[in-house]
Amino acid sequence: MARRAGAERLGITIGEFLPLSARRHPDRPCLEFPDGTAHSFAMTNSRVNRLVSALRAEGVGRGDRLAVFALDSHRYLEIVLACMKLGAVYVPLNYRLQRPEVDVLLRRSAPVALFHDVRYRELLAGAADEHASLRTVIELDAPDGAGPSPYERLLNAGEDVEPPVVSSDDDLIALAFTSGTTGLPKGVMQSQRMLKAIIYSGMVEYQARPDDVRYTAAPAFHISGVCGLFMGVAAGFTSLLLPQFEPGAVLDFLVRDRVTSVFLVPTMISSILQLDGVDGHDYARLRLITYGAAPISPTLLRRAMDVFDCDFLQAFGAGTEAGLQSTLTPEDHRRALAGRPGLLRSCGRPSVGVAMRIVDAEMRDVPPGEVGEVATRSDQVMDGYLDMPEETARAFEDGWFRAGDMGYLDAEGYLYLHGRSKDMIIRGGENVYPVEIESVLAEHPSVAQAAVVGVPDEHWGEVVRAFVTPAVGHRPDAAELAAHCGARLARYKVPRDFVVLDAMPVNASGKILKRELRLHAAPLP
C-alpha cells in the first residue's frame, strides 16, 4: 500500500525499545544495583514516562537539548530515555572536567536544562547565570536525610502515560563532544539512525542473550557506555549499573557469579588482575569479556584468558564518530591460542554492516599489507561536527569516514593498526588531545614552548608526557606545572611527568618533531 502523501515515515524508535521490552518482560530486572536491588522493565518505563510528562509540562520538546553531568545511575539512563521519547537531544558531559571545560561545552551545546549530581553543586555553581540557554538546573540526588531530590520531585509531578512517537531516524538525538577543550571542541552530531545501528551491531557482535546480566564499565557519557545500556533495554536483558568502575567491586561480582558478560577497557582488566583473590575461581557464569577503547598487550590478554577461562572479544572503532568498526571474535581468539598468536595483535575484521577500506592520501585503495588510513562507511557514522563544516568535510571523502587511524589489512581481511595520523593519546580508554594540554602549559609564565606526547604504559596503555622549554629567566618546576594543569584540566589529562629541554627538536620549517620527543626518556625530577 502506498504511503499517504505528506506522511512522515516513523520506524521503531529508540524511545520505544523500553515500552516494548516492558510489555514482553514487565517483571524482569532492567537494572540491577550493587546492593542487590533492581528496577524492573515496567518500573523503569513508568519512571521514564513520568519524567517525559513533567518535562513536557516545563516546555521541553523535540529538538531541545538536555545536558547531564553525573555519575552513572538509573536517573542518568532515565533522562537519556526520556530524551528518546521526547525527541530531545541529550548532551553527555564528562564528569571529570573542570569548570572552564564545562563552560566551553555549555556554550557550544546551548542546553535548556542541566542535570547534575549533588556532589558537583560547587563546581557548577552559577551555571544558570552564565549560560542564557539554561532554563533550569536540576540536582539528581539529595544529601542523606534531605528528603526527595529536585529530580524526584520533578519526576513525581508527571503522569505515567505513554507519549506519542515523535522521532525519526534522521533526527539529531545526541550531541557528544570529543574533548572538553578550552579552545573549540568538536560536537559530534549523532542521529537516531546512528545510535540504532550501533545498538543493533552490538547485539549481534557481542552475542547478546535475553538471560544476560551484563556490566558495561564505560561510563554513560561515553557512547560505548550508553549504547551498552541501550542494548539491554532493546534486547530485554539485565544491566548491572555501578556509579563508577571500582576493581574490587567488579571482581566481587565476577566471583559471586552475578554477571554473564562484561565490557572492560584494558586498563580495567589490568587493575582487576592485580587484586588479591583473582586466581583460584572458575567464574562459572562469566561467558564473555569484551575489551576495547585502547590497545591491549598480548601479555595482559593471555593472563586474562588464563584467569577467567571464558570467551574474549575485542571491539575497535571510532565510537563517538563512527561506532563499532571491527571485531576480533571469540573464534579468532581461539585460533590465536591454537597456533596463530599474531592474531592477538589484530583488531579483527570489519563488523556487521561496516564497509572498510585502507586508502592513501588520494583515497586510492592500497594493497594488503601496506599501511594506509582506515576509512569506513556504515549507518553507525555521525552526521558531522556541530557548526564546523570544514572539520566535517575533512572527515568525509565520497561518503567514507576517516578518523585518522593508520593500519593495514592482511590477506584474510584482518586489520592491524599502525599508529594514528593525529597525535591523539588514549589513556585508559580516554581520548586525550595534546593541543589542549599544550595550550594550557603555554599559559604558565615559566614555559616558552610545550609539546605533549603519549608514551607506552603497561597499565594505562598510554600516559601523557609533557616537554617544555623555559621562558627567559625561569626554570619550570614539575609540581607547579602539574598544579597549573590540574586546575584547568580533567585529572586524566594532566601529564604524568615533565621534561625540560633547552630547545625543541624541529624540522626545517620549525615544526616540532614529536617522533623524536617520544624517544626521550628522562622525566623531570
Neighbours of 72 (CB within 10 A): 22
The CATH superfamily holding the domain 213-420 is ANL, N-terminal domain (3.40.50.12780)
Per CATH, 14-191 and 213-420 having the same topology is answered yes
Low-confidence ranges of the chain (pLDDT < 50): 1-6, 180-183, 508-509, 522-525
Q: What is the pLDDT of residue 448?
A: 83
Q: Where are the beta strands (DSSP E) in 444-501?
A: 447-457, 461-470, 497-500
Indicate the DSSP class of residue 4.
Answer: P
pTM above 0.75, yes or no: yes
What is the C-alpha to C-alpha distance for residues 251 and 286, in angstroms, rounded to an integer? 11
Shortest CA distance to 22 belongs to which of 157, 159, 162? 162
98 Cβ partners below 8 Å, 6+ apart? 123, 487, 488, 489, 490
pLDDT value of position 509: 43
Q: Measured between alpha carbons, how far is 167 from 239 in angstroms, rounded to an integer? A: 25
**Assign residue 276 a region: left if phi > 0, alpha if psi is -120 to 50, beta otherwise?**
beta
Cβ neighbours of residue 25 closer than 8 Å, sequence gap 6 or more: 41, 210, 236
Fold of 14-191: Rossmann fold (3.40.50)
pLDDT at 318: 83
User: How, if at all, do strands 400-409 and 372-377 pair?
Assistant: antiparallel
Residue 486 identity (one-letter amino acid): G
Measured over the CA atoms of residue 491, residue 497, residue 500 and residue 506, the dihedral's sign is: negative
Compute the chain's Rg from CA coordinates. 23
* Set of cell numbers at residue 306: 588464563
Q: Give the pLDDT of residue 5.
A: 45
Angle between helices 478-486 and 434-442 (to 10 degrees): 110
Pick from 153, 126, 122: which is nearest to 137 by CA? 126
User: Where do we find the cell 591491549?
Assistant: 296
Grid cell in block for residue 207: 552475542
- Round to the nearest angstrom and report the end-to-end CA distance of the chain: 75
Grid cell digits, residue 378: 556504515
Give the residue extent of every domain in the chain.
Answer: 14-191, 213-420, 425-517
DSSP of 334-393: HHHHTT-GGGGGS-BEEPTT-EEEEE-TTSPBPPTT--EEEEEESTTS--EETT-HHHHH
Q: Are 481 and 466 in contact (CB under 8 A)?
A: yes
CA nearest to 249, candidates 285, 211, 277 = 277
The candidate with the shortest Cα–Cα distance to 222, out of 428, 458, 421, is 428
- The residue written with cell numbers 600516559 in the block is 463
Q: What is the pLDDT of residue 458?
A: 85
- What SS3 state is found at 219? coil
Give pLDDT, residue 183.
Answer: 47
- Are the CB atoms for 70 and 199 separated by under 8 Å? no
State the cell numbers at 356.
572498510
**Four-way CATH pick for 425-517: 3.10.450.50, 3.40.50.300, 3.30.300.30, 3.40.630.40:** 3.30.300.30
For the chain, give me the number of helices (H) and strands (E)?
Answer: 17, 26
Please, are residues 446 and 398 in contact by the beta-carbon 8 Å criterion? no
pLDDT, position 28:
98
**Cell 545498538 appears where?**
199
Please check whether residue 467 is in contact with residue 451, taking contact to mean a CB–CB distance below 8 angstroms.
yes
**pLDDT score for 421:** 62
* Burial environment of residue 284 by CB neighbours within 10 A (0 to 12, 13 to 18, 19 or more): exposed
Pair type for strands 113-116 and 65-69: parallel
User: What is the predicted pLDDT for the residue at 1?
Assistant: 36
